[in-house]
Chains A and B, each alone.
Chain A
């Protein structure tokens, strides 16, 4: 009986996706420092409270999509808790999610964060009147 309880507890511990990506995913659009300029999206997040530590090494995966809920894997194996997405185009919108991955499996998705790189609307109806 005790053995069974232990097995059950172990199964719970080892179950994939049993640790939550509690972290708040944040995005910030910045001008690229690299030549050719353009924009990049700086993503950062917090490590999960459970499942990632010195002894439980985690990597992170970023998912990206053009609309909410349409995210597909962009990059995995990130060891830092931030990422610079330079593959963005001015005028488009991007939605992001991240997950943590340890030896047991993958966490649930983080919150969804988004950026809108649409150009601002131009001013209209310009008039120029000389005034003596």
Chain B
């Protein structure tokens, strides 16, 4: 049982271990003073799960991806002073080789 667990853990690790990651980039919101949130889904159109928030840069690196999988990303932003949240950006697709 322990061996099986170790093997499956190693297998799981090996699929991440090759260091697959997705580099995301987007254009700034027209509203100044916002922070960005990055969402990911394995299905086109969502539902999306937030993987990063409070981002002030216009890039994000997702290193929690697995080989052979396809991911869909969207980004939105939050205004700092009144907490209003924008609509999602366009959806971007990443196929991990």
Measured CB to CB, the residues of A under 8 A from B are: 29-31, 39, 90, 115, 117-132
State A26–B95 Cα separation when bound (angstroms): 51
Cβ A131 vs Cβ B83 within 8 A: no
B24 — nearest CB in chain A belongs to which residue? A128
Given the interface contacts A31-B83, A128-B24, A130-B94, does A123 sit within 8 Å of B89 by beta carbon? Answer: yes
Q: How many chain B residues touch A (Cβ–Cβ < 8 Å)?
A: 44
Distance from B54 Cβ to chain A, minimum over Cβ atoms (Å): 14
Please give me the 3 A-B residue pairs with the lowest Cβ-Cβ distance, nearest first: A121-B30, A120-B31, A128-B92
Task: Tell me the total A-B contact number using a CB cutoff of 8 A.
Answer: 104
Chain B residue with minimal CB distance to A37? B83
Known interface pairs A29-B81, A128-B93, A130-B97. Does A121 touch B86 (Cβ–Cβ under 8 Å)? yes
Q: Are A125 and B90 in contact (CB under 8 A)?
A: yes
Candidates A117, A120, A122, A130; contact of B21 at CB < 8 Å: A130
